[in-house]
Amino acid sequence: MRQQGSKGAIIGVGELKPMRRTEGITTLDMLAKVSAAAVADAGIEPYEIDGLLLGPQVGETPQHVPATIAEYLGLRPSMGNIVDLGGASGAGMVWRAAAAIEAGMCETVLCVLGNTRDDDPPRSPNRNPIREFDVPFGASGANISYALFMQAHMARYGTKPEDYAAIAHWARHNAQFNEDAIFYGKPASVEEILASPLIASPLHLFEIVMPVAGAEAVIVTSVRRARERQQRLVHLLGAGEKITHRAASQAPDLTTGPLKQAIARALAQSGTRVEDMNLLSLYDCYTIMVALTIEDAGLCRPGGFGEWLNGRDLSFSGDTPLNTHGGQLGFGQPDLAGGMTHIVEAVRQLRGSATGRQIRNPQLALVTGNGATVSEATALVLGAD
């Protein structure tokens, strides 16, 4: 397939080291710090940012989020919006930023997500289908819901616990090359993962992300503007998005998800094939999510991810680099910013700046995001300049 043209340029990224708990710092503080890091990385001045994309969860302000953040950061953007796609929000921001630039609404967009973490997070009292059809029957929380998908997949295809544990093992392995990862210095074998406590059968503790505090930021502009300023850039070559449901009880299928359509669209837009990718930066809140994504991307037949993984080296120096920063299973999940860690890592790899874990021949990367319970999906194809 012939690769298509660039739809936008990522020129800067920022990342805060994840923390198990925060004290004496607000979400606004974290967003400001990570935004400043992204601005410095891009080599621009804050006043040049005229677009702002944010997540819906900012602890200090339940509404007027773009205005509050813009005021706090000292920005006066021409475009501001909220992207509410759960773990797919980061990837969803990137293509929306490029689209806003193409529409002439702005020229340089800051996409930023982050959160603090305390021992008593607020709970939403709102009613929705999950509270009516899932929670009364015991399906309360993400662990139970993702376990349902894993049970269905194992029942239909005969996949084995060790197949899923291999995904977590490689995440922990890759985290050993990222000093900022929450599990740096703590590798885990397949046997150790299967020996960890069973949280929601068949999911073990080490197959589930560890929630942390943290923040991520990405700056998107036009290729023309990046070229004029001679900035390092990574191209947005294609994007796809799909939403199929919210509650697990309403999912069309428990053994596949909307990423199948989102990835197909992103590949078609970019004129590439999944086999062309030098890096797979796949959303990994649970091991089952990676398994489904591998299959939905067309890397193997449905139910065949375990066979596909067998004998592969998923490290930065291996034959199939996957989540080289450790993924969320190894790096940690800073709430909605967890999905953006996959974008930040892909940008670093494609720019050749992933110190200590740089892949060979970084040309193309597939990045995925997943929100709710295999519900909201976004896929990006990013390319080196």
Q: Look at residue 284 and tell me if it is in a domain.
A: yes
Q: Look at residue 239 and tell me if it is in a domain.
A: yes
User: What angle, rounded to 10 degrees, do the helices at 287-296 and 161-175 form?
Assistant: 100
Q: Look at residue 31 and tell me if it is in a domain.
A: yes
Q: Look at residue 157 and tell me if it is in a domain.
A: no
> Binning pLDDT at 50, 70 and 90, where does residue 213 land?
very high
Q: Look at residue 183 and tell me if it is in a domain.
A: no
Q: What CATH number is given to the structural domain containing 313?
A: 3.40.47.10
Q: Look at residue 177 and tell me if it is in a domain.
A: no
Buried b (16+ CB within 10 A) or exposed e, 261-279: bbbbbbbebbebebebbbb
Determine the pLDDT at residue 246.
87
Task: Please tell me the total count of domains within the chain.
Answer: 1
Indicate if the pLDDT at residue 292 is higher than 90.
Answer: yes
In angstroms, rounded to a whole number, what is the distance separating the alpha carbons of residues 166 and 156? 20
Domain that includes residue 229, residue range: 9-117+209-384
**Could you tell me which residue, 137 or 197, shows the higher pLDDT?**
197
- Rounded to an integer, the average pLDDT of 238-259 is 94
- Rounded to an integer, the average pLDDT of 5-24 is 94
> Binning pLDDT at 50, 70 and 90, where does residue 131 land?
low
For the segment 44-96, what is each residue's pLDDT rounded down to a tens digit? Answer: 999 999 999 999 877 666 778 898 899 999 999 999 999 999 999 999 999 99
For the segment 305-364, what is each residue's pLDDT rounded down to a tens digit? Answer: 999 999 999 999 999 999 999 999 999 999 999 999 999 999 999 999 999 999 999 999
Q: Look at residue 377 and tell me if it is in a domain.
A: yes
Q: Look at residue 156 and tell me if it is in a domain.
A: no
pTM: predicted TM-score of the whole model, two decimal places: 0.91
Contact, 85 vs 371, CB < 8 A? yes
Indicate if the pLDDT at residue 125 is higher than 60.
Answer: no
Tokens of 256: 């596949």
List of E strands, 222-373: 234-243, 279-281, 364-371
For the segment 145-177, what is each residue's pLDDT rounded down to a tens digit? Answer: 999 999 999 999 999 999 999 999 999 999 999
What is the overall mean pLDDT for the chain? 93
